[in-house]
């Protein structure tokens, strides 16, 4: 990618609401260049624009990071595709799952989820056990109190702007 693309991305990570004119001024190139480069980036690099809400204002109290270990040998051969399809179907029924996928290391899969209460989290995990338990050997979760004082650096993409 071009250096100007990195500068555009950095500014958009800080504030995706910038107009092409404002972005051109910040990056130091013409507005038509920004319009052209933004179109390219939106097609090739940017997956979408979104907001990052104050989770507690929407009623979410818990962010859970759940690590799943699959039963040994169960996800091989023709069975692997069925497990994948069942997993995707289950995940897509739960809008509070904001990211999930396979991973490497001591676990096979992960989920990042938001919950409005511990009761809701517990019901979610019971549903996971009921629907997906046939595939699962072990599940471990880390629960983060979104309203707590221990949240030292809130989730935001603006921090990545410094890394481009």
Ordered domains of the chain (ranges, CATH): 3-50 (1.10.10.10), 55-145 (3.30.70.920)
Give, for 84, the enclosing helix (H) or strand (E): helix 78-92
pTM, entire model? 0.85
pLDDT for residue 17: 94
pLDDT in tens, 93-121: 999 999 999 999 999 999 999 999 999 99
pLDDT for residue 151: 87
Q: Which segment of 1-5, 12-16, 52-56, 129-133 scores lowest on mean pLDDT?
A: 1-5
Position 76 pLDDT exceeds 80:
no
Half-sphere exposure of residue 97: CA atoms within 13 angstroms, side-chain side: 17
Provide mean pLDDT across the span 75-92. 87
Position 46 pLDDT exceeds 90:
yes
**Whole-number Å distance between alpha carbons of 30 and 21:** 8
Q: What angle, 0 to 180 degrees and rounded to 10, lies between the N-to-C axes of helices 3-14 and 20-27?
A: 120
Which residues is 67 bridged to in the sheet? 110, 140
**Whole-number Å distance between alpha carbons of 134 and 12:** 43
Q: What is the mean pLDDT of the chain?
A: 93
Which residues is 114 bridged to in the sheet? 63
Distance of CA 16 to the CA centre of its chain: 17
Decide: 47 and 38 in contact? Cβ < 8 Å: no
């Amino acid at each position: 990618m071009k250096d100007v693309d990195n500068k555009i991305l950095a500014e958009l990570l800080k504030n995706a609401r910038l107009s092409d004119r404002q972005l051109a001024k910040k990056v130091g190139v013409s507005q038509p260049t920004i319009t052209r480069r933004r179109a390219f980036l939106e097609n090739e690099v940017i997956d979408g624009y979104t907001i990052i809400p104050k989770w507690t204002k929407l009623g979410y109290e818990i962010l859970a990071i759940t690590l799943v270990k699959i039963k040994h040998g169960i996800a091989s051969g023709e069975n692997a595709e069925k497990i994948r399809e069942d997993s995707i179907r289950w995940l897509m029924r739960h809008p509070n799952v904001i990211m999930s996928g396979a991973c490497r290391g001591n676990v096979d899969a992960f989920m990042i989820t938001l919950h409005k209460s511990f009761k809701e989290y517990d019901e979610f995990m019971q549903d996971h056990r009921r629907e997906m338990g046939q595939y699962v050997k072990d599940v471990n979760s880390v629960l983060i109190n979104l309203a707590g004082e221990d949240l030292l650096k809130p989730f935001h993409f603006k921090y990545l702007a410094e890394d481009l």
